[in-house]
Chain A
Amino acid sequence: DIQMTQSPSSLSASVGERVTITCRASQGISNYVNWYQQTPGKAPKLLIFGASTVQPGVPSRFSGSGSGADFTLTISSLQPEDFATYYCQQTFVTPTFGQGTRVE
């Protein structure tokens, strides 16, 4: 299986700050990465697919980049509703998720 390693595991940030979360794959996976947001007690929500395409309805402050093995999710200006856990997922082969990054 391809391992997805997210960093950091958690971070503290304030409203208005720029937040960057990285995800590294154990091998090259082209652009087959999705990003999800999960708030406590809720199902995850798709934010980004294909590494950089923003899901319709997702605020423009969310963006994704990367190709190969290194990927980034950026929140340009953190809002109160963005405090959540974020997961990357690769779908290059049998899908796997990263371990999550908690933004608090």
Chain B
Amino acid sequence: QVTLRESGPALVKPTQTLTLTCTFSGFSLSATGMCVTWIRQPPGKALEWLARIDWDGDKFYSTSLKTRLTISKDTAKDQVVLTLTNMDPVDTATYYCTRAIMSAGVTASDQWGQGTLVTVSS
């Protein structure tokens, strides 16, 4: 059974750096085709893709946020960490980590964590 769980602060101040951890089980991020992505959703708004890290260490970032984002993995701990610098109230959102599988060039998030709400406020 695949599970993913996001953890991190519920409240951050403007200009601070957000660090979120995705702890997963039921699959290996070392296995070919496996990826972990981060996706966020501001309250009442649409989904926004943030970043992805692949089984081979390749990393991909949102075009609009790439200067602020860093994604990394700790395969031994089955964790993926996302940092987002210089937080602003517009970054208030529920942050999801997902398992994505790449097959025949198609990548899709087939398993999702429950999400964690991060509020940016002074």
Q: Establish whether residues A45 and B112, one from each chain, have CB atoms under 8 Å apart when the complex forms.
A: yes
For the complex, give the distance between the alpha carbons of A87 and B96 in Å: 15
Contacts A1-B63, A43-B114, A44-B112; is A91 near B107 (CB within 8 Å)? yes
In the complex, chain A residues whose CB is within 8 Å of the CB of B46 = 87, 97-100
Which of A2-49 touch B at CB < 8 Å?
Answer: 31-32, 34, 36, 38, 43-46, 49
In the complex, chain A residues whose CB is within 8 Å of the CB of B49 = 89, 94-97
CB-based nearest B residue for A90: B49
Interface residues of A (CB under 8 A from B): 1, 31-32, 34, 36, 38, 43-46, 49-50, 55, 87, 89, 91, 94-100
B108 located at the interface, meaning its Cβ lies under 8 Å from any Cβ of chain A in the complex: yes
Q: How many residues of B contact A (CB 8 A)?
A: 23
Contacts A94-B60, A94-B62; is A44 near B47 (CB within 8 Å)? yes
Residue from the list B47, B52, B106, B115 in contact with A50, Cβ < 8 A: B106
Q: Establish whether residues A49 and B112, one from each chain, have CB atoms under 8 Å apart when the complex forms.
A: no
Q: Establish whether residues B108 and A49, one from each chain, have CB atoms under 8 Å apart when the complex forms.
A: yes
For the complex, give the distance between the alpha carbons of A98 and B108 in Å: 15
Nearest CB in chain A: distance from B97 CB, A: 10
Nearest CB in chain B: distance from A21 CB, A: 14
Q: Supply 18 A–B pairs (Cβ within 8 Å), ascending by A.
A: A1-B64, A31-B106, A43-B114, A44-B96, A44-B109, A46-B109, A46-B110, A49-B110, A50-B104, A50-B108, A55-B108, A55-B110, A87-B47, A91-B108, A95-B49, A95-B107, A98-B46, A100-B46
